[in-house]
Chain A
Amino acid sequence: MLTWLARLGRAGLSFFERLGRGHLFLMQVLAGVPGLLLRPRLVIQQIYSVGVLSLVIIVVSGLFVGMVLGLQGYNTLADFGAAESLGVMVALSLVRELGPVVTALLFGGRAGSALTAEIGLMKATEQLSGMEMMAVDPLRRVIAPRFVAGVIAMPLLAAIFSAVGVIGGYFVGVGLLGVDDGAFWSQMQARVDWNKDVINGVIKSLAFGLVATWIAVYEGYDATPTAEGVSRATTRTVVHTALAVLGLDFVLTALMFGE
């Protein structure tokens, strides 16, 4: 019983220690962000590798999610004679929920894991240590640009995901199932609110981008510098990102739409 308690206590302590170190790390990275204004090239390069290279998976997933929404939504709405509202349903589901959440999950799997592995390997091969000895702070030169790039790329990817998803829903609803073209778009236009729906979705995707990128760069920087350590850190990135995004989504949704 006592050893069990001790083990629980130790696990709790190490959890909070990691949480604390993660926050200190975030503060140090944020301190390096203003300096990047002078060197935008560093950030642009990273936006390419974090954002542009994630486009294929985001576009393809968005298309299929939108198509599935079109099919499922049509079946339910048609029972109530409200098939014309398909456009609203697809757009709201995507903009409010699926766009930010699914994009963040895919982002964690595609870009987050790559960031962790890259930074972890740079640590394992002494590249970060080497930079320090060349009087170049790796937190500013390596971590900060990647962090900023992730935070910028995530909302853009989520927006693209939602847009492509709406087009997927349109293909299925209007193209295959015969929903009225004009009703699909006009109802969507009338019922999707800029502040309540679109802006809230953007806030969500920004928050997810921040958390997902933070987890990815921290796990990489904190990885045990061995092959096994880097592989564990990469797994942790994907798992923690998924959990954090889903948990945070509930909190944000409750705050935004909780009335």
Chain B
Amino acid sequence: MSQGRENQPLIEIRGLRFKRGARVIFDGVDIDIPRGKVTAIMGPSGTGKTTLLRMIGGQLRPQAGRVTVDGQDVQALRRGELYALRKRMGMLFQSGALLTDLTVYDNVAFPLREHTKLPESMIRDLVLMKLQAVGLRGARDLMPSELSGGMARRVALARAIALDPMMIMYDEPFTGLDPISKGAVVELIRKINVALEVTSIIVSHDVRETTAISDYIYVLSDGKVMGHGPPRTLLESDAPWVRQFMQGLPDGPVPFHYPASDYAADLLAGPG
């Protein structure tokens, strides 16, 4: 890595536009993700947060705009270059996405076996180290179907860090977990960020957990960045939309009611 790049953001997103059918997902989004920090992308369900991660990973193409990762324009890369870049990215899927026909051990060993020619004894050491880091060394012989949601996500995390990536993307890491598992995942994300000196990107709508561990937050809605800044600034923001989202208020700029005709007239109209 050249000296000049180190102060630049790891990921730069400029003028991102993306439509799915008639629905506009992104309408000119600009985001910078600094190196070595925990950056969160927040927003209500269906705002395309996961879509954004897929664009960073090169699985989806935007209709306009640019995504640059470590100085490389993801959309302009050839297949081989894109795969080389992906080896330096870790991604934690919401479902874990573990391979269901392999044990926990083999799942964590999978990227090592696919991409390195390391002897089996060294792979064993690496897998046990990664599993120890997420606290599941004792669960190595279990099948994914025998794991709880929280455990599956921790195994997936061990697999995501198997190749010592430069960055890790977390897709809704807190959703659907009990408080203890949630606490464990929060702790792990922070610890891994510091210990491995990786760049972490969290996509989430869990305000409490996300504000607790992130250094910087972008809030997306309706295809636009509604606000960004350190967690404290956003929590105290006066902008009505950001306030409603961060404090979880049921009514505000986003109305409680789905758009409908006048209530009284609707009741009196009768069927047909």
CB neighbours (8 Å) of A131 from chain B are: 99
Q: Mark A119-137, 1 if CB is under 8 A from B, else 0.
A: 0001001110111111111
Which of A130, A135, A137, A141 is in CB contact (< 8 Å) with B97?
Answer: A130
Interface range for B:
20 to 34
Interchain CB contact under 8 A, A126 and B110: no
Chain A CB within 8 A of B111 CB: yes
Q: What distance in Å separates the Cβ of B106 from its nearest Cβ neighbour in chain A?
A: 13
Q: Are B99 and A129 in contact (CB under 8 A)?
A: no
Contacts of A141 in B (CB 8 A): 114
Give the distance in Å from the alpha carbon of A133 to the alpha carbon of B85 in the complex. Answer: 10
Residues 94 to 135 of chain A near chain B (Cβ within 8 Å): 122, 125-127, 129-135
Residues of B within 8 A of A132 (CB): 57, 59, 86
Q: Is the CB of B97 within 8 A of A126?
A: yes
**Once the chains bind, are A133 and B57 in contact (CB under 8 Å)?**
yes
Decide yes or no whether B84 CB sits under 8 A from chain A.
Answer: yes
What chain B residues lie within 8 Å of A133 (beta carbons)?
57, 59, 86, 89, 91
Please give, as numbers and ranges, the residues of chain A lying within 8 Å of B57 by CB-CB distance: 132-133
B123 to chain A: closest CB distance in Å?
A: 15
Contacts known (A134-B86, A141-B114); A127 close to B91, Cβ less than 8 A: no
Check if B99 sits within 8 Å of A127, measured CB to CB. yes
Interface membership of B100, Cβ < 8 A: yes
In whole Å, how far is B249's beta carbon from the nearest beta carbon of chain A?
33
Q: Across the interface, which residues of A come within 8 angstroms of B94, CB to CB?
A: 126
Chain B stretch 110-149: residues in CB contact (< 8 A) with chain A: 110-111, 114-115
Contact pick for B100, options A125, A129, A134, A135, CB 8 Å: A125
Task: Verify if B193 is at the interface (C-beta below 8 Å from A).
Answer: no
- Is B241 on the interface with A (CB-CB < 8 A)? no
* Contact pick for A130, options B83, B84, B93, B115, CB 8 Å: B93
Tell yes or no: B87 within 8 A of A by CB. Answer: yes
Known: A133-B89, A135-B114; 8 extra A-B contacts, CB below 8 A, are A126-B94, A130-B91, A130-B97, A132-B57, A133-B86, A134-B159, A136-B111, A136-B115
10 contacts between A and B (CB under 8 A): A130-B98, A131-B99, A132-B59, A132-B86, A133-B91, A134-B86, A134-B114, A134-B159, A135-B84, A136-B115
